[in-house]
Every structure is written in C-alpha cells, then in structure tokens.
Amino acid sequence: PFIAAKIACSNDFYTKSRSKFITNEYSRNVSHLLRYKFDSILTSYKTVNADNSKLTCRINGLESHSPKRLIIDKNLKINKKCIVINDKYKNKTIIFHSTRDKKKIRYFKSRGIRLSYTDLDSDNNIDLKKVFSKAYNIGIGSIIIEGGKELTKSVLKDKLINEFYLFKS
C-alpha cells in the first residue's frame, strides 16, 4: 500500500506535551482530513494506551469514512478499556500481534476485534513489511502512520514510507 507517516512535535522537538495537544486546531483538522483520505491508520499499542485516541475522522459529515485502525501490539498489551476496543467502530480495528496467549486472543475476538498473527523481524519486533503486505491483501491501499517516536523512526530507518507529514508547533 501507499504509506504516509505523520508526527507532531513541539518547537524543541518533543513529541509529547503536558497539555493535551502540541499543535493547533488547524493542524488537527488537517490530521482528520488525512484520516478521511487514507484507507487505514496505523499506530502502536503504546500510543493507544498513552492517548486513548479514537483514531477516527471527526470532520462533520465524514465520520462514517473513518479509516480502518491498524495497531501493532506484539503481546496484546493494549488497554482493554480503551476507545478503539469499545466504540462503535471496533469492527474496523485490526491488531497485529505475535502472542500465543489463548486467553488474550479469545478476549479480543469476543469483542469483535480482528487479530492478525504476524511474525517478528530480526530485531524481535512485529515485521512491518509483513503488516503492510497483510493489509494490502485485505484491500487496504493506503495507510497513514500516526505513531510515536519509535514507530516513526522505524519506518523512516527502513525507508518504508512514500510521504511524510511533520506538524511542528
């Protein structure tokens, strides 16, 4: 699939803030427009657990065009109370994992969450090339990555993206 990555940082290059947002309302609206334009949004369980983000498009009239939500979570450590596991769009959530923990797998499947077992790479992380291949095979033609520093650094290092958006306050 076509891969884009987006990250927001402060003027001094921090990606986290004590307040809720680093960027302004205009930047957030652009982010929601990007979510509308892409088939899916990819992030890690760490970002989901830290932000409890909805990972949806919240532009009036375009909410139903929210992207599929792809989450990298090797050991299924995502918070079971987070929005993406419990909202009305949970059937659009796919977690890429590599655990064999049957109890965790049963729980997420019982919630209607799609799970995709994915092999690890040589660094013992979920193999992102395999994630992208699996996504493409289920009809996902474009992915916007809204991850933290680690995920963004990984896709940049491995030259896996076609387009990059930097929102700097």
Q: What are the pLDDT digits (tens) for 40-50?
A: 999 999 999 98
For residue 145, with 0-12 CB atoms within 10 Å meaning exposed, 13-18 middle and 19 or more buried, which class applies? buried
Mean pLDDT of 88-92: 92
Tokens of 53: 């983000």
Tokens of 143: 């992915």
Q: Give the Cα separation of 164 and 2 in Å (integer).
A: 11
User: Residue 12's pLDDT is what?
Assistant: 59
Tell me what the pLDDT averaged over the chain comes to.
89
Query: At 112, which amino acid appears?
Result: G
Mean pLDDT of 113-117: 97
Q: Is residue 71 very low, low, confident or very high in pLDDT (cuts 50, 70, 90)?
A: very high
Q: Is the pLDDT confidence value at 34 over 70? A: yes
Q: Is the pLDDT confidence value at 110 over 90? A: yes
- What percent of the chain stands above pLDDT 90? 65
* Beta-carbon contacts of residue 145 (< 8 Å; ≥ 6 apart): 3, 4, 5, 6, 41, 42, 43, 151, 152, 155, 161
Q: DSSP 3-state assignment of 23?
A: coil
